[in-house]
């Protein structure tokens, strides 16, 4: 992990093997015995002594009450002293990934993403409590095979994307269809105004953010190594027009068959309606909070309910692996050779 970029809030924790202090076995923070709960990592600024280890025991007990795990991370082994909750970050490599230079706290959420870097022990336990409370125990009676990922984008980026939509050229109600001219406008199926993110710098920001916060979750949940994404769109469902998208699948034409996963990432909360439903799997409605995404197989039937007040802004794109990329490449060649509208040779 040397010379890797500093992890940001929401980034997935990379494979992280640490040794238990006192010559113990090596452990991975994503191991099944550790993951799936909040994890607090305490990087002390000084060499641990008896008092500090006693304090760790108190933090560990408080964390256990929230089904969390607290670990003390030291940069050099504790000679002849084994401790189940002390691990060794040899040379401070992991601390550097978190951007810590003088000690500190790190919180990892149950999905294995960086949740925060609290300033104090009290703040660390408060964040741990918030992570625990955010996931109440529920009994599911119906559930589509979809992935909900919160905090993919921070509020500032959401605002930036809405501003980008406001100030860009727009297209309305575009849907895919088979046959010549593979996209057309059809307000009987879809009422949404889109802007394609063609600005190189902004596209790069979005690609990196999706790559560090969303793609690892897709690989973990669906075991698909994502390599490509389609054009990124910012869309708006207007309340005054009762913006909606009728029941459809996202890969049922020759122009969309390469798609594997759809991403619908909400950018704001100030609207009514606009939920996503998967009618083949019940009547459950999905509405991620601002900055959060719902990801699902493009073969799932789904619809977007009408927005009845306000405006729902969201980012939309499609993800696929290397095999899907090859199918898309062949499609592009076919379209170019056939003179289809709106298709340009790749540079």
For residue 5, what are the contacts with CB-CB under 8 A and spacing of at least 6? none
CA distance 323 to 250: 17
pTM of the model: 0.85
Q: Are strands 69-74 and 86-88 parallel, antiparallel or unpaired?
A: parallel
CATH code for residues 17-133: 3.40.30.10
For residue 120, what are the contacts with CB-CB under 8 A and spacing of at least 6? 105
Query: Does residue 186 register a pLDDT over 80?
Result: no
- Determine which of 62-66, 86-90, 277-281, 304-308 has the lowest per-residue pLDDT on average: 86-90
pLDDT-above-90 percentage for the chain: 68
Q: What mean pLDDT is reported for the chain?
A: 89
Quick check: 217 and 147 in contact, CB under 8 A?
yes
pLDDT digits (tens, 9 = 90+) for 120-132: 999 999 999 999 9
Q: Where does the pLDDT of residue 27 fall: very low under 50, low under 70, confident under 90, or very high at 90 and above? A: confident
Domain boundaries, the chain: 17-133, 147-338
- Determine which of 2-6, 56-60, 138-142, 211-215 has the lowest per-residue pLDDT on average: 2-6
Q: Which residue has the higher pLDDT, 337 or 279?
A: 279
pLDDT digits (tens, 9 = 90+) for 191-210: 999 999 999 999 999 999 99
Q: Where does the pLDDT of residue 346 fall: very low under 50, low under 70, confident under 90, or very high at 90 and above? A: very low
**Closest among 139, 138, 118 to 129, alpha carbons compared:** 118
Q: Which residue has the higher pLDDT, 347 or 270?
A: 270
Q: Residue 18's pLDDT is what?
A: 84
Q: Residue 184's pLDDT is what?
A: 60
Q: Residue 117's pLDDT is what?
A: 96
Q: What's the mean pLDDT in 15-27?
A: 76
Q: Residue 140's pLDDT is what?
A: 85
Q: Where does the pLDDT of residue 183 fall: very low under 50, low under 70, confident under 90, or very high at 90 and above? A: low
CA distance 50 to 141: 50
CATH says 147-338 is which class? mainly beta
pLDDT digits (tens, 9 = 90+) for 270-305: 999 999 999 999 999 999 999 999 999 999 999 999
Q: Which residue has the higher pLDDT, 346 or 219?
A: 219
Q: Are strands 276-277 and 39-43 parallel, antiparallel or unpaired?
A: unpaired
- Determine which of 75-89, 149-163, 213-227, 266-280 has the lowest per-residue pLDDT on average: 75-89
Q: What's the mean pLDDT in 139-149?
A: 92
To 10 degrees, what angle do helices 155-166 and 200-213 make?
Answer: 140
**Closest among 89, 40, 92, 26 to 69, alpha carbons compared:** 40
Q: Where does the pLDDT of residue 173 fall: very low under 50, low under 70, confident under 90, or very high at 90 and above? A: low
CB atoms within 10 A of CB 336: 13
Q: Residue 345's pLDDT is what?
A: 42
Q: What's the mean pLDDT in 101-123?
A: 94
**Closest among 8, 12, 16 to 94, alpha carbons compared:** 16
Q: How many residues does the chain have?
A: 347
Q: Residue 17's pLDDT is what?
A: 78
- Determine which of 75-79, 109-113, 265-269 has the lowest per-residue pLDDT on average: 75-79
Q: Is 20 left (phi over 0), alpha (psi -120 to 50) or beta?
A: beta
């Amino acid at each position: 992990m040397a010379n890797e970029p500093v992890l940001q809030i929401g980034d997935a924790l990379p494979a992280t093997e640490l040794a238990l202090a006192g010559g113990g076995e090596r452990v991975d923070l994503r191991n099944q015995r550790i993951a799936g709960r909040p994890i607090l990592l305490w990087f002390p600024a000084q060499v641990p002594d008896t008092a500090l280890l006693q304090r760790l025991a108190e933090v560990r007990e408080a964390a256990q009450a929230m089904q969390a795990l607290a670990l003390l991370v030291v940069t050099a082994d504790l000679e002849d002293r084994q401790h189940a909750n002390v691990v060794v970050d040899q040379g401070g490599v992991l601390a550097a990934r978190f951007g810590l230079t003088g000690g500190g706290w790190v919180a990892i959420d149950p999905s294995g993403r960086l949740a925060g870097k609290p300033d104090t022990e009290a703040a660390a336990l408060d964040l741990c409590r918030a992570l625990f409370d955010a996931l109440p125990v529920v009994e599911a009676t119906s559930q589509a095979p979809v992935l909900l990922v919160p905090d993919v984008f921070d509020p500032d980026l959401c605002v930036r994307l809405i501003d980008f939509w406001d100030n860009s050229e727009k297209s309305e109600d575009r849907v895919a269809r088979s046959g010549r001219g593979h996209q057309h406008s059809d307000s009987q199926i879809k009422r949404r105004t889109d802007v394609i993110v063609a600005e190189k710098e902004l596209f790069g920001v979005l690609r990196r953010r999706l790559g560090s916060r969303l793609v690892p979750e897709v690989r973990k949940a669906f075991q698909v190594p994502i390599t490509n994404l389609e054009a990124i769109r910012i869309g708006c469902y207007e309340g005054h027009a009762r913006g909606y998208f009728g029941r459809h699948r996202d890969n049922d034409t020759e122009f969309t068959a390469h798609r594997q996963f759809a991403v619908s990432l909400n950018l704001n909360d100030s609207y009514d309606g606009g939920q996503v439903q998967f009618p083949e799997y019940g009547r459950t409605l999905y509405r991620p909070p601002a900055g959060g995404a719902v990801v699902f197989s493009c073969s799932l039937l789904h619809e977007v309910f009408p927005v009845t007040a306000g405006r729902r802004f969201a980012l939309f794109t499609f993800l696929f692996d290397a095999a899907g990329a090859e199918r898309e490449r062949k499609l592009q060649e076919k379209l170019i050779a056939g003179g289809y509208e709106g298709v340009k040779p790749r540079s």
